[in-house]
């Protein structure tokens, strides 16, 4: 195929995608996930999070943090890394794989020993001029407006819903502040999350406006998506789920051909090795708990894209069907940094 013909085809695909959301790489996207059953999405019991004191979080900016740690210092570290555009994934006060990878990437950028341990030098780099890690937030009428409803784990049952909404105000607020529902409960013992006008303590995840990326790199070796500027400097790094042994990441250099916020999901069981017997093609309505989350970023590789997820705690841990999954908030941030034509290197 000539380069001119390829360019024309890509341009047409982009127009179709942006106008209908049903371009070839979207309608038959290689993603299928059984959502966890309602009520099962919170982290396991963590004693040190049961009574997280906001003051302890603010005073933890000099404590050594190592793998296996949990509690106030880890929570502060996750918030500051998120704000520095080195996403730890879901903020949950636990030192896990995603946090370690974010720490190492931050250490490499700042010429620190990339050992995953956090000491005075890294705290200095993170705390310099830092705003408080936690802030007060007043729950709005919009936060509790809903509608909220349980989302069944089965894809065929999901297809019967008019929208894939949050299951509760708590779930929506947790995603709004990039954290687990348990973290919000630990920071606000006994406080309601469904009462407009109530004040709660939340992670201060506000950062500057996203910068335009010259290219992005998806790396299966550390389950990440990294955005670079034209000079090769890291602009942002996100943990990701990048495939499986059945559907490995399609290594190569591709391009972004379009994006769509709040997309429907067109499920085709013929594309999935683990589809349930008797599954039929189905369209899943948009919503934050849609199988591809709140945004779809289409790649020039047919059937593949970068997208959000209904289960942020599984990013970097659960397998995907070849597509690249991010938390909903990281997917939205990446979508604001890229445009049609941005190179996407998958390695």
175-196 residue pLDDT tens: 999 999 999 999 999 999 999 9
Q: Considering the domain 3-39+208-346 in this protein, what is its CATH number?
A: 2.40.440.10
Note the pTM of the prediction, 2 decimals: 0.85
Cα 165 from Cα 289, distance rounded (Å):
6
DSSP letter string, 149-186: ----SSHHHHTTSS----SSHHHHHHHHTTB-HHHHHH
Give residue-wise pLDDT tens across range 274-297: 566 677 888 999 999 999 999 999
Q: What is the DSSP letter of 262?
A: S
- What size, in residues, is the chain? 347
pLDDT tens sequence across 123-167: 999 987 678 999 999 999 999 999 999 999 888 899 999 999 999
**pLDDT tens-digit map of 306-328:** 999 999 999 988 645 558 999 99
Distance CA 245, CA 220 (A): 12
The span from the CA of 261 to the CA of 20, in Å, is: 12
State the Cα–Cα distance between residues 308 and 312, nearest whole angstrom: 8
Predicted pLDDT of residue 323: 83
Mean predicted confidence (pLDDT) in 46-61: 77
147 cis-preceded (ω within 30 degrees of 0): yes
């Amino acid at each position: 195929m000539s380069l001119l013909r390829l360019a024309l085809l890509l341009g047409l695909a982009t127009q179709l995608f942006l106008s209908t959301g049903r371009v070839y790489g979207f309608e038959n996207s290689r993603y299928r996930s059984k959502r966890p059953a309602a009520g099962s999405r919170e982290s396991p019991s963590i004693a040190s999070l049961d009574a997280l004191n906001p003051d302890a979080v603010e005073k933890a900016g000099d404590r050594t943090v190592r793998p296996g740690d949990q509690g106030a210092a880890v929570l502060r570290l996750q918030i500051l890394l998120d704000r520095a555009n080195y996403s730890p994934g879901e903020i949950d006060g636990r030192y896990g794989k995603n946090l370690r990878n974010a720490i190492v990437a931050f250490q490499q950028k700042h010429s620190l020993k990339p050992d995953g341990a956090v000491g005075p030098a890294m705290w200095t780099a993170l705390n310099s001029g830092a705003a408080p890690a936690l802030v007060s937030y007043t729950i709005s009428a919009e936060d509790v407006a809903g509608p909220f409803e349980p989302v069944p784990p089965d894809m065929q049952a999901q297809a019967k819903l008019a929208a894939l909404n949050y299951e509760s105000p708590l779930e929506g607020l947790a995603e709004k502040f990039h954290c687990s529902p348990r973290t919000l409960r630990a920071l606000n013992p006994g406080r309601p999350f469904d009462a407009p006008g109530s004040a709660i303590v939340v992670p201060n995840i506000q950062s500057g406006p996203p910068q335009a990326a010259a290219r992005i790199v998806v790396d299966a070796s550390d389950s990440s998506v990294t955005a670079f500027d034209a000079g090769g400097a890291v602009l942002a790094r996100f943990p990701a789920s990048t495939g499986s042994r059945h559907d490995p990441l399609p290594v190569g250099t591709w391009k972004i051909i379009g994006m769509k916020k709040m997309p429907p999901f067109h499920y085709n069981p013929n594309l999935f090795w683990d589809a349930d017997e008797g599954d039929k093609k189905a369209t899943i309505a948009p919503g934050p708990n849609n199988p591809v989350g709140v945004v779809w970023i289409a790649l020039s590789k047919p059937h593949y894209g970068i997208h959000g997820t209904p289960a942020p705690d599984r990013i970097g841990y659960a397998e995907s069907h070849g597509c690249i999954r991010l938390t909903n908030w990281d997917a939205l941030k990446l979508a604001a940094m890229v445009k049609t034509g941005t190179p996407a290197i998958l390695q």
